[in-house]
Amino acid sequence: MHDFPVEALRSVELGVPDIGASVEFYTKTWGLQVVQQDADKVFLAGSGDDFHILELKQSTRAELRKVTFRARSREDLLKLHSLCEEAGATVLRAPQALTAPSGGFGFVIREPQGCVLEFVHGDLRRQPSHTPLVPVRLAHVNINSAEIEALSDFYRNSLGFRLTDRSRMMAFLCCNQDHHSVVLAEAPVNGLNHIAFQMPDLESVMRGSGRVVDAGYPIGWGVGRHGPGDNVFAYFVDPHGVVIEYTAEVLQVDESYRVGGPQDWVWPPGRTDQWGIAPPKSEACKKAQQAVGFSAP
Ligand SMILES: [Fe+2]
């Protein structure tokens, strides 16, 4: 198996202008639960063993404040820190014991294209609740990049990710057996494209989608089955314009996986998923996938 210093995507932090509305949506509709609440921050967990998978922080606008990865060991974490510095990332917090409720040891950088990344080791874990029909953990983040090859180089050379597929518009990167934990999308401006939450199975994607639709949030794209990664998907736009995805059944890969190129991922005209049943993506979803930026330096 490829030697990955990062073992998992753990959590994301979003800034939101109305934290109460976001907490209401992510608990009652999306299926997460509040595990800790500070003055201006709320930590939400899925049904898996991560202490939290989403942090919400009161902010003036919707923004991606941070993506957190778990390093395999403290030694790997320190090595990652050196490699990030060498690659020109800005160190926002040097390696140290973390004061967040999830604890552990870690550091924070801003990568050269502006996204804040945190790396942790030894963070607290929860007893999985195995609640049906709700997200278990994060599946992937999809980051817009105006210079996708440079960002792909950073993820591969400095963070130890491996490329699994390159479609015409996207680069798929893995750090464990999941076909992708990070996806980079070609875009005019750097920012957040969407956040995907891992559901227990296909049935949960379907029933979960029904719950979200019932709450007044239409499906923006899906339900369908993606090409690269083979995962089923349903996309929504949250109350603050952040695009979120329910997904399941992502392809499990090892180093025998043949890296695909743009020529491998061509659909017949009008088709946007493997099944051929997903209606075209809504204009609102397309627009939202380009509208959420990173927190300002
Ligand atoms: Fe996705």
CATH number at residue 142: 3.10.180.10
The pairing of beta strand 54-58 with beta strand 6-16: parallel
| Together in a domain, 15 and 113 | yes
| Together in a domain, 108 and 196 | no
Contact assessment for residue 281 and residue 290, using Cβ atoms and an 8 Å cutoff: no
CB atoms within 10 A of CB 151: 22
Contact assessment for residue 12 and residue 66, using Cβ atoms and an 8 Å cutoff: yes
Coil, strand or helix at 226: coil
| Together in a domain, 206 and 287 | yes
| Together in a domain, 39 and 107 | yes
Cα angle for residues 93, 97, 100 (degrees, 5° grid): 85
Residue type at 251 in one-letter notation: L
Contact assessment for residue 58 and residue 16, using Cβ atoms and an 8 Å cutoff: yes
Between the CA of 285 and the centroid of ligand 1 the distance, in Å, is: 13
Ligand 1 ion: Cβ-proximal residues, 5 Å cutoff:
196, 245
Between the CA of 75 and the centroid of ligand 1 the distance, in Å, is: 31
| Together in a domain, 160 and 99 | no
Between the CA of 196 and the centroid of ligand 1 the distance, in Å, is: 5
The answer to whether residue 256 sits within a structural domain is yes
* CA dihedral for 138, 140, 144, 146, sign (positive or negative): positive
The answer to whether residue 126 sits within a structural domain is no
The pLDDT value given to residue 39: 84
The pLDDT value given to residue 72: 98
* Tally of CA atoms within 13 A in the half-sphere of 218 that contains its CB: 8
CB atoms within 10 A of CB 275: 12
Between the CA of 264 and the centroid of ligand 1 the distance, in Å, is: 18
Tokens of 147: 């210079």
The pLDDT value given to residue 2: 76
Q: Which residues of the chain have pLDDT under 70?
A: 1
CB atoms within 10 A of CB 85: 15
Q: Give dist(CA 53, CA 11) in Å, integer.
A: 4
The pLDDT value given to residue 297: 85
Coil, strand or helix at 217: coil
Between the CA of 39 and the centroid of ligand 1 the distance, in Å, is: 32
The answer to whether residue 264 sits within a structural domain is yes
Between the CA of 140 and the centroid of ligand 1 the distance, in Å, is: 7
Range of the domain at 238: 137-294
The answer to whether residue 53 sits within a structural domain is yes
| Together in a domain, 211 and 249 | yes
Between the CA of 289 and the centroid of ligand 1 the distance, in Å, is: 11
First to last CA, the chain: 37
The answer to whether residue 74 sits within a structural domain is yes
The pLDDT value given to residue 118: 98
Taking the whole predicted model, whether its pTM rises above 0.85 is answered as: yes
Between the CA of 20 and the centroid of ligand 1 the distance, in Å, is: 26
Between the CA of 142 and the centroid of ligand 1 the distance, in Å, is: 6
Domain boundary among 87, 121, 155: 121
Domain count of the fold of the chain: 2
Write out the E strands in the chain: 6-16, 33-37, 41-45, 54-58, 63-71, 90-97, 105-110, 116-121, 137-145, 162-166, 170-174, 182-186, 191-198, 221-225, 232-237, 243-248, 293-294
The answer to whether residue 78 sits within a structural domain is yes
Between the CA of 210 and the centroid of ligand 1 the distance, in Å, is: 19
Domain boundary among 121, 155, 186: 121
| Together in a domain, 146 and 281 | yes
DSSP states of 100-136 as a string? STT--EEEEEE-TTS-EEEEEES--B------TTS--
| Together in a domain, 148 and 104 | no
The pLDDT value given to residue 1: 56
Domain boundary among 92, 121, 150: 121
| Together in a domain, 92 and 155 | no
Tokens of 236: 């929504």
The answer to whether residue 127 sits within a structural domain is no
Between the CA of 141 and the centroid of ligand 1 the distance, in Å, is: 7
Between the CA of 226 and the centroid of ligand 1 the distance, in Å, is: 8
Residue 253: is the preceding peptide bond cis (ω within 30°)?
Answer: no
CB atoms within 10 A of CB 92: 14
The answer to whether residue 131 sits within a structural domain is no
| Together in a domain, 78 and 219 | no
| Together in a domain, 180 and 114 | no
| Together in a domain, 77 and 149 | no
